[in-house]
Structure 1
Amino acid sequence: MTQPQVIVIGNEKGGAGKSTLAIHIVTGLLHAGKRVAIIDLDLRQRSMAKFFANRLAWTAANGFPLPQPVEPDMGDGTKLAKADPAEQMERFDAAFAEARTVADVIVIDTPGGDTTLSRAAHARADQIVTPMNDSFVDFDLLGQVDPVTLDLLKPSIYSESVWEARKHRAINEGRHAAIDWIVMTNRLAVAEARNRRRLDEKLSKLAKRVGFRVGPGLRDRVIYRELFPFGLTVADLSNEIRPVAVSLAHVAARQELRNLMQALGLDDVVAPLNAAA
C-alpha cells in the first residue's frame, strides 16, 4: 500500500497563521478528491480541529454535502496537554497509525512552541510548511541578523529544529527520505513595503544556507476570517454556498490558494480549484 504524504505545518512562534494555512491546504486537497486525515497537536487551542467541527455543523444545518477530513481521536486536548510526554506520544502514535490506514495525505498542525509532539511530527514529515508574518520578529526564529547592518549571521532555533528533524529522518529511513521544507510569508499587507524587501532579501540568503524553498502565502484578507466560523474556505464557495457577501476579492483569494497548492507541488489540486466558482 502506498504510504500517505505527511504535511506538517510548523513554526515555533504563535500567531504566524499556521492553522489558517492548514485549513486551506486541507480543503483544497478535499476538493481534489483526496482522502485527508488531520491531527491537531495544538492541544489547548485546537483551531484546526474546531474549524472542521464547525464545518460539520454548518453543512448538516444547511444541507450542503461538503467533503470532510478524518480526524483520529486523541481524546480531550486540554487533559492531554497536562499529561506526561510519554502518554502524549502514545496517543499521537495511535492517531498517526490510524491516519496512515485511511488517508492519501496527513496534515498535522503544530503548536507555537517547542514540544515533544511537535518534534515527533516534524521528524515524520515529508513536507514542512512554515508560515511567517512579514516581520523580522518572525524571521528571528529562522535566522539571526546583525542589529547594525542587518547582515545574516546564522540560522536560529527553528531552523536548527528542522535540521534535527531532517537528520532524524535520514538516520531512520535513509537519505532518500528527504524532507521538503517550504517557508511562506503569510498575512502580507496589500501595499508594498521597504521592510518586506529587506526581509525577502534575508529570506533568500537563509534559504540557500539552510535548504528551504520560499513560497507564496496568503494575504491578510477579510474573507479568510469571515468564513472561519462556518468551517468554510474560498475553496468551498459556489453559487449555492455563499454564507457571506462575496466580491472580486474572493477571486483573488482563490488564486492565492491555487498558487499555494502549486508551490507545495500539489498540481492535481489546482484544476478543481480552477473549475470551482
Structure 2
Amino acid sequence: MSTGPHRIVFANEKGGTGKSTTAVHVAVALAYQGARVATIDLDARQRTMHRYFENRAETMRRREIALPTASFDVYGQDSIEALDELTERLGQGYDFIVFDTPGRDDPLARHVATRADTLVTPLNDSFVDFDLIGQVDAETFKVRRLSFYAELIWEARKKRAMATIKDARREMDWVVVRNRTGYTEARNQRRIDQALTELSKRVGFRIASGLSERVIYRELFPSGLTLLDKGHLGELGTSHLVARQELRTLVSGLNLPMPAKGAAASAPSLESAA
C-alpha cells in the first residue's frame, strides 16, 4: 500500500533559527537529485519560503534559465481539514512535501509536526533555543525535564509507532539540526553537546549538523538562488564552497528516501551541484 509523499516538516516555535533558509535549501537539494518536491508555507504573514520560491521563479523567467525547483503554495486558512485536503491533493504527483511553519506556537504547525515523516527542528547552539525541547539544571546543565513541545512530539511518535498496519504511515524520524555552531563559545558548546545527547536518548531524536551563519544566505534571497546553483552565482569564495559542503552533509544526515534512480536520471545530481 502506498504511503504517499514523504512529509518533511521544519518546525520550531522560536524564530531566528534558520528554519526557512534550511527548508528552502533542502527542498532545492532534493530537486537537484531528481525528486518532485512540493512546498507549503504555513506562515501566511511572513511567507519566507513562499517568497523565496517566487523569487526563484522570477529569476528563471528573467534570465531564461531552467533550474531544479519545487512547487510552492502558502496556506492562510485556519481549517486543519482544509490543510489536510490540500496536502492530499499535492500528494498525487510529488515525492516530498516540505512544510515551513511559523516561529511561534501555532495549531497548524503542531498538527503537521505530529503527522511528519521527517520532523526537522533547527536550533541555534544556545540554551535559549534548547529550552524549546528541554530544561536544564542551572548548576550542572543536566536535563531536568522535557519541554511541552518535546512531550508533544514524543506522544505523537508513540502513537505513530503503535498504529496498525492499515494506517500505512511511516514512523516519524525526528532530527534536531544544529545551526550556527561556529558562533558558540567552546565551553558552552560542550555543555549543549552533552545536554542534546542526554535528551536525544530520552526522546529518540537524532542530531545533525546544520548551516553556519553566512551573509550569502541573506544575499541570495532576492534572486531565489541557492548555494547549489553552480554557474549562476558568479565567483564564490572558499567560505561559500565550505557552505555547500555543509548543505551536502545536512541532506545526507536527514537520510531521506529518494525516488527510484530512473526517475532522477535526467536531473543533475547533488554531487555535481555542490
Whether the TM-score (by the shorter chain) exceeds 0.5 is yes
Match among 266, 269, 273 for residue 272 of structure 1: 269
Describe the shift of the 1:98–1:134 C-alpha distance in structure 2 as closer, same or farther (beyond 3 A): same
Q: Which residue number in structure 2 is paired with residue 15 of structure 1?
A: 16
Deviation at 1:168, TM superposition (A): 4.1
Q: Select 1:214's aligned residue among 207, 232, 241.
A: 207
Matched, 1:120 2:121: no
Indicate the SS of the match to 2:182.
coil
Q: Could you tell me which residue of structure 2 aligns to residue 254 of structure 1? A: 244
Could you say which residue in structure 1 is the equivalent of 2:6? 5
1:157 aligns with 2:148: yes
Residue type of the alignment partner of 1:29: L
SS at match of 1:253: helix
Once the two structures are TM-superposed, the CA of residue 223 in structure 1 deviates from its matched residue by: 1.6
Distance in 2 (alpha carbons) for counterparts of 1:208 and 1:183 = 13
Amino acid at match of 1:60: R
Distance 1:263 1:102, change over 3 A: same
String of CA shifts for 1:19-68, please: whole Å, max 9, x gaps.
01100110001111110010111121111001000101111111111122
> What's the secondary structure of 2:15's corresponding residue?
coil
Unaligned runs of 5+ in 1: none
1:211 to 1:61, Cα distance in 2 relative to 1, 3 A: same
Q: 1: CA distance between counterparts of 2:73 and 2:126? A: 35
Report how far residue 143 of structure 1 moved: 0.8
Deviations 1:83-112 (A, max 9, x none): xx4xx2233122201111111011111111
Q: How far apart are 1:194 and its partner, in Å?
A: 1.6
1:51-200 correspondence to structure 2 within 5 Å = 51-72=52-73, 74=75, 77=76, 80=77, 85=78, 88-170=79-161, 172=163, 177-189=170-182, 193-200=186-193
Give yes or no for contact 2:10–2:119 (8 Å, CA) kept in 1.
Answer: yes
Conserved? CA contact 1:72–1:95, under 8 Å? no
Query: Following the alignment from structure 1 to structure 2, what is the Cα–Cα distance between the partners of residues 123 and 185?
Result: 21
Q: Give the 3-state SS of the residue equivalent to 2:40 in structure 1.
A: strand
1:48 & 1:166 partners in 2: Cα distance? 26
More displaced, 162-171 or 91-100? 162-171
Query: Percent identity of the aligned residues?
Result: 47
The RMSD of aligned alpha carbons is: 2.2
Count of matched residue positions in the alignment of Structure 1 and Structure 2: 263
1:263 aligned residue: 253
Residue 12 of structure 2 contacts residue 19 of structure 2 at CA under 8 Å; is this kept in 1? yes
Q: Within 2, Cα distance between the matches of 1:179 and 1:256?
A: 24
C-alpha distance in structure 2 between counterparts of 1:35 and 1:263, whole Å: 20
Cα distance, 1:173 vs structure 2? 5.0
Cα offsets for 1:152-204 (capped at 9, x unmatched):
11111221121132244345555973210110111222676221111111111
Contact preservation (8 Å) 1:123, 1:168: no
Q: Report how far residue 119 of structure 1 moved.
A: 1.7
Unaligned runs of 5+ in 2: 259-263
Quick one: distance in 1 between partners of 2:215 and 2:107?
Answer: 34
| Map of 1:45 onto structure 2 | 46
Q: Confirm or deny: 8 A CA contact 1:42 1:109 kept in the other structure.
A: yes
| CA–CA distance in structure 1, aligned partners of residues 200 and 184 of structure 2 | 24
**Secondary structure in 2 matching 1:97:** helix
Q: Distance in 2 between matches of 1:194 and 1:221?
A: 23
